[in-house]
Structure formats: structure tokens, C-alpha cells
Amino acid sequence: MKGVIWSIAPDTQIADISHSIHAQNIMEGALALSRSAPYFPPGTVHVAVVDPGVGTNRRPIAAHLGAHYFVGPDNGLFTLLLERAENNGEIIEIVHLDQPRYWLANISNVFHGRDIFSPVAAHIVNGVPLSSLGTPIQDAVRLKVPIPVRTAKGWRGEVVQIDHFGNLATNLTQSHLKAIHNIIVNISGVSIVGLVPTFGSCSPGDLIALYGTQDDLIISVVNGSAEQRLDVRIGTLVEVVEA
Amino acid sequence: MKGVIWSIAPDTQIADISHSIHAQNIMEGALALSRSAPYFPPGTVHVAVVDPGVGTNRRPIAAHLGAHYFVGPDNGLFTLLLERAENNGEIIEIVHLDQPRYWLANISNVFHGRDIFSPVAAHIVNGVPLSSLGTPIQDAVRLKVPIPVRTAKGWRGEVVQIDHFGNLATNLTQSHLKAIHNIIVNISGVSIVGLVPTFGSCSPGDLIALYGTQDDLIISVVNGSAEQRLDVRIGTLVEVVEA
Amino acid sequence: MKGVIWSIAPDTQIADISHSIHAQNIMEGALALSRSAPYFPPGTVHVAVVDPGVGTNRRPIAAHLGAHYFVGPDNGLFTLLLERAENNGEIIEIVHLDQPRYWLANISNVFHGRDIFSPVAAHIVNGVPLSSLGTPIQDAVRLKVPIPVRTAKGWRGEVVQIDHFGNLATNLTQSHLKAIHNIIVNISGVSIVGLVPTFGSCSPGDLIALYGTQDDLIISVVNGSAEQRLDVRIGTLVEVVEA
């Protein structure tokens, strides 16, 4: 993919965001992308390939969302970024990539990342407008994003991401929880009393809850793995209540 | 290695192709290189270090093959690219790197990637001709590449690569198999009837055969691992017969 | 982190040295950094984030050590480079990063790599002097580096690094051992007689001792893992004696 990009747009700077999204886990890819993309400069083109439907009739798409461009399969990978652009009233332009003259000459059924998405991304870098690359669409596929639910005593959310340290990220954020004065976090039959400011304020082995890199509620074991300690997975329920 | 390259050729763009070749597996490295190198722009210099013989009398070499340059140990890593250049009647120039003035000052016995290959690659980027870097050779080491065999009912090949999803790549290609009308693929005591166009046209868990990123026959489990399902390894036989 | 750097210093070339330091292992990070940093061009800015104390009162720092710059937590990560600069009589300037105008606007308690270290590194690339970024300090935290000990018959050191092949690096170097004529290496109840020049001069499965990429004594199993064979870990004692 990098070779293809450099063949079309030779001066492009390329960074890898992640190669460790679990196979076919579109939501995990969507989260990783939505967390890192905003930190890149305006005009950055992001290519994302979590693509179990490659070679079927799922559409290849490119999207201009706010200050950034995105290229990949139309399977919901860009849902969170699209919703953010909508909420912020930013530019939204999405096209179905249907102009093979901007692709490689031979299109494999199993690697559109190389054959379609990378050349299209490089052409965007070169200034080709989305309107030349495809046909506008309004019905891009969206993932069903788990939404935290208000409960009698607080909020119910779920684990949405687990990093390689075993830290659990939830879909509950500081904005949900700020009205709760004495927080208790219930997960997997265990209660965590109170939030701590950071890992280093506790002892190795402590099971803690704190705000993460996105102001999201995270659950961790200091110098250990909350994933292993609690035997949880993506989708495990997390309840936060007033003590 | 990147620091060494940038110290000599500061504006070089560098991409990592793979850091997950199994230790000492020269053929796996040769396949990975031959699959990705052609997608890079003309003039790209590829440094490859699968090098169990580092520090022995195996030669360090540089090769100009078609539009690309390659630097690494003379152990067969470039066999597939060399054969492709021969088949295509392209430029072929290979030199034994024997000019230490183009290397680092101190040469470790165990890391020629850093001490010899990277500085030589950077000098090629800077325009130093191969003829200055070493002495021409005609006898570069070649791997014995497994060749598919015609059988009474079809073709017999083998598994040559297993990716991190557990997909099995074989040395059988569309050009071998196009004359077979109703394909049956036999591997590891199991028969797969027919080819499918892509992963997404089947159900999760299905064991399928299809053409991969190189028009090669691959064997996969949809959203799963054929490697684990079939308990195969590099070299496992694959027979394709007319139904 | 790369997005943040490119947002401030758009033309920066960025390389990843390692993402496989074990969690919270500051010494392992310090070793990896001290081994690779010297090979980068003068003026390179190195960002290092092994940071179990993130968000506590551990200081963020930047250091100018010889020809290079370093940015990260004040937890000893730069000890080996600092000691090398001292031994070589090179420039040493270290500042406590206390000027938030050079950071991102919002500072997470758990990811200073993104919010403080990356923007500071990019400003150094842009020519901002350390004196603008923070306040000079003389008391940077230092790791206790294990020092080899002279014994009646030779030297006693320890395993300081284990690479992904399972090779064991020790803190004993050629300069310690050159006076020993017939070397025996004792580790984990096993004796290795003599040093070999390189891996390829032995047979697969041989347990060998040799000098590594840093002229350090390393212990390896040819085409195998010394870590698994000997069941050792970081800190395991290594004795070298005259035969």
C-alpha cells in the first residue's frame, strides 16, 4: 500500500496508526480511527482497511469530514467521525468510488486496500476532488454505536476497547459522570469505589477506575491487566452509580 | 538501520514491509519481498535482512533487478525477484559488496543490516553506482523454489506462505488452474469443492478456496484460521483436480 | 503522537525504534534507546515514553546530550545516554518542562506522550531552545545501572536484555573480557566453553556465547531461544571465568 501511494504521490509522509485491530472488528477499527485522526494536520488522508466484505458488493468510499479525508470500505468504519462532523456542523461529502481510472490496473477480489483505497488516497493527496473519484452518496453504512443509558442511580455503559496493556475503555465519559459525586463502578461482579487521577497514584496490582486519553472512563490494574483480572471482553456491561 | 540510512541520505523516505518473518526463514522473506517490491516506485532500494549466516563467509550483495535495487545477504532472499527479472528480460546486475569504505567504520559479526546493508543502500540512494560498491558476480545463491507439478488429473503444489489471519497461500496460480473447469482442492485430508470469488461471499467458518492478492490459489476459513483448522504448515501438499 | 508532531513541524521524518518494550520496564527502554540513538544523525530528537508515573508529580523533561535531544518522563529513561555524555565530556543540558504554552491545550493524566512530549519534540525540531521550554535542572532521576563485578577468576555480570529471538544480552563487554584467554561462561547452572565469532559458525541448537551488536557478551541458541533453553530472565547472573 505504501509503495502504491508513493508511486502516485511521491512526497507523501505516511504513518501507521495500528496494525493490531482484531480481524473483522469494524467497531474496534472505528474507535482507533476516531481517537487518533483528529490529532493529524488538516488535509490528512486516512486510509482504513478493516474489510471483511472486500470483493462483495459493499461499496468502496471516500469521505471529506471536516478538515480530513477518509478512504475505505463502506461498512461503518467512519461512523464515529461522520457523527462527530454532523454534531459539529462540519463539511460532509461522501462518494461511492466508481471511477476505476483512479485505481490500479488489476483489481484483486481480496485486497482493495492496495488496489483501490491506496491509489485513491494518493490522488486525493495530489488534489483530485472527490467529485472526480466517485458519485455522491447520502446513505453510507453506519455502525450501531452502543449508547450509554441513564439508570435510576447513574449510568450503564459497556467496554468498547481493550488496549495491549489490558486497560478497558468504556463508552462512558466525564460528561456523563460529572454529576455523580461519589462514584462506584460495577463491572464483572466487582465494585470499584471512587476514581483516581492516574495510574501512578496507586500501588501495583490495584484495580482502579480513572479518566483515559479521551476523557473516557477506563478500568485498569496498575502495572497489570484488567482484561485478565476481570475476564471481560468488548461489550461487557459497566454500571456507574452514586455511592 | 533507519538512523544509519538518514545519516548518509537524509531525505530518504523509509517504509517497513515486514518485521514478522519467522526467524531464519529465508523463503518466507523472499516471498514477502517479491510480493511487495513491484508496487514501489522505480528506483526504490529494498534492504532485506533474513540473515542466519551473518558474520560467516556468506557474501553481502547488492542487486539491480529491473527498475529496483536490493541489498542484503547472498543467501537466496532475492531468488524470486532475480528469476522474474530474467523471465522479463530486464536489467540484472549483482555485485559482491567488498568495499568497506561504503560501510560503517566498525562492523559487528552479528548485525550487517545496520553496519553494511543500510549504509550501502543509502549510498545507492545517493547515486553511487553498484560498480563502485562491489565486484560483479554471476553466481548469486538461489533458493530451490517449489515448482507445481502436473498430475494425471490436475496439479500438485504446496503451501508457501501463511499470513497472520491463518490464510494459506500456495504456489498454484490462476494460470495453472484456468484449464480445470470444476475444481476440487485437496489438502490435509479435506476436499474443498469449487472456488469462491471472495471471503464475503461465504459464511463465517466456511472453509474456502479462492484466488489471492497475487492471483495465487489460497485456502481460508472465513473470519477464522485455515492454519488452525487444517493443522498445516509451510510445505504441506495441495492437490487440485478436475471434479 | 505522529499527528501532533506533524501538526507543529510538518516536514519531520519519524521512525519508530520499538513498540515492544515490556510495560513499565524503564531499564529495558533505556537500553533500547542507548543502543539505537547514536546511529541517528546529529540533531535528531528522540521521544521516549515508558512512563508508569504519568500524571503524578514525576517531571516531564527534555535533554540535550551531545549531538542529540531527548524528551520524556524524568524516571531514568535517559540514564545511560546521560552517563555516556558525561564520560565523553559532551554538552549536557536538561530542563524540567514547565511551559504549557508549548503543549497541547488539553493535558490528559494518562498520555503525556501525546499531550506534552510530542509537541515539545516538534518545537525542538522547529528550533525552540530548551531554555524556552523549561527550567534547567541538575538532578534528573537516574536508574541504578547494574555494574559488572571483578571476581577472583574473572567477572560477574547479569542479563540486561532479551530480544525477540530469545538472545540474552549481558552487561559484560569485550573490554571487560579481553584479558581472559580461555573463557568459560556460567549461567543458570550451565557452562559454555569459549566464544564463537557468530551464529552461522555453529550448528542449529548449539548454545553459544559471542559478542553482540554493541560488543557486549551475548548468549544464544543457534536458530533457537536461549531464553527458553535456560529459563532465565532480566537480572539472571552471568559469570565469566578463565578456564
Pairing of the two strands A68-73 and A45-47 = parallel
Across B3-11, average pLDDT:
98
B123 touches chain C (CB under 8 A): no
B226 touches chain C (CB under 8 A): no
Cross-strand bridge partners of residue C60: C73
Q: pLDDT category, B138, cuts 50, 70, 90? A: very high
Pairing of the two strands C92-97 and A45-47 = unpaired
Contact residues on chain B for C13, CB-CB shorter than 8 A: 6, 13
pLDDT number for residue C20: 87
Cross-strand bridge partners of residue C193: C184
Compute the distance between CA of residue C113 and CA of residue C50 in angstroms, rounded to an integer. Answer: 9
SS3 category, C131: helix
Q: Is the pLDDT at A136 greater than 90, yes or no?
A: yes
Contact residues for B93 (Cβ-Cβ < 8 A; gap 6+)? B63, B64, B130, B136
CB C174 within 8 A of CB C240: no
What b/e sequence results for C100-112 when a residue is b if at least 16 CB atoms lie within 10 Å of its CB, and e otherwise? eebbbeeebbbbb
Chains with ≥3 Cβ pairs under 8 A against A?
B, C
Compute the distance between CA of residue C128 and CA of residue C126 in angstroms, rounded to an integer. Answer: 6
| Min distance A206 CA to chain C CA atoms (Å) | 14
Q: Is the pLDDT at A165 greater than 90, yes or no?
A: no
pLDDT number for residue B235: 92
Q: Is the pLDDT at B200 greater than 90, yes or no?
A: no
Provide Rg for chain B, Cα atoms. Answer: 20
Q: Count CA atoms within 13 Å of residue C49 on its CB side.
A: 16
What does the pLDDT look like over A67-88, one tens digit per residue? 999 999 999 999 999 999 999 9
Contact A199 C111 (CB under 8 A): no
Alpha helices by DSSP H, A126-212? 130-133, 174-177
Contact residues on chain A for C109, CB-CB shorter than 8 A: 197-198, 210-211
| Min distance B202 CA to chain C CA atoms (Å) | 36
pLDDT number for residue B47: 98
Contact residues for A58 (Cβ-Cβ < 8 A; gap 6+)? A73, A74, A75, A141, B200
pLDDT number for residue B26: 94
- Out of A2, A7, A23, whose CB is closest to B165? A23
* Lowest model confidence (mean pLDDT) among B91-95, B207-211, C17-21: C17-21
Cell of A160: 468498547
CB B146 within 8 A of CB B158: yes
Q: Count CA atoms within 13 Å of residue B71 on its CB side.
A: 29
Contact C198 B54 (CB under 8 A): yes
Q: What is the mean pLDDT of each run of 10 residues along chain C (243 residues)?
A: 98 95 90 96 97 94 98 97 97 98 95 98 98 98 94 95 92 93 95 94 93 94 94 94 92
The pTM of the full predicted model, rounded to 2 decimals, is 0.93
Closest chain C residue by Cα to residue B54: C200
pLDDT number for residue B123: 98
Contact A40 C3 (CB under 8 A): yes
Contact residues on chain B for A26, CB-CB shorter than 8 A: none
Share of chain A above pLDDT 70, in %: 100
What does the pLDDT look like over B33-42, one tens digit per residue? 999 999 999 9
Contact residues on chain B for C40, CB-CB shorter than 8 A: 2-3, 6-7
Q: Is the pLDDT at B23 greater than 90, yes or no?
A: no
Strand locations in chain B, DSSP E? Answer: 45-47, 60-65, 68-73, 92-97, 134-136, 149-150, 154-162, 168-173, 183-187, 190-193, 207-211, 216-221, 237-242
pLDDT number for residue C200: 87
Query: Angle CA(B223)–CA(B225)–CA(B230) in degrees, nearest 5?
Result: 135
Q: Is the pLDDT at A164 greater than 90, yes or no?
A: no
Question: Is the Cα torsion angle B70, C213, C230, C203 positive or negative in sign?
Answer: positive
pLDDT number for residue C201: 85
Compute the distance between CA of residue A100 and CA of residue A1 in angstroms, rounded to an integer. Answer: 17
B7 touches chain A (CB under 8 A): no
Share of chain A above pLDDT 90, in %: 91
Across B213-241, average pLDDT:
94
CB C163 within 8 A of CB C220: no
pLDDT number for residue B211: 95
Query: Angle CA(C119)–CA(C124)–CA(C126) in degrees, nearest 5?
Result: 95
Cell of C197: 565469532
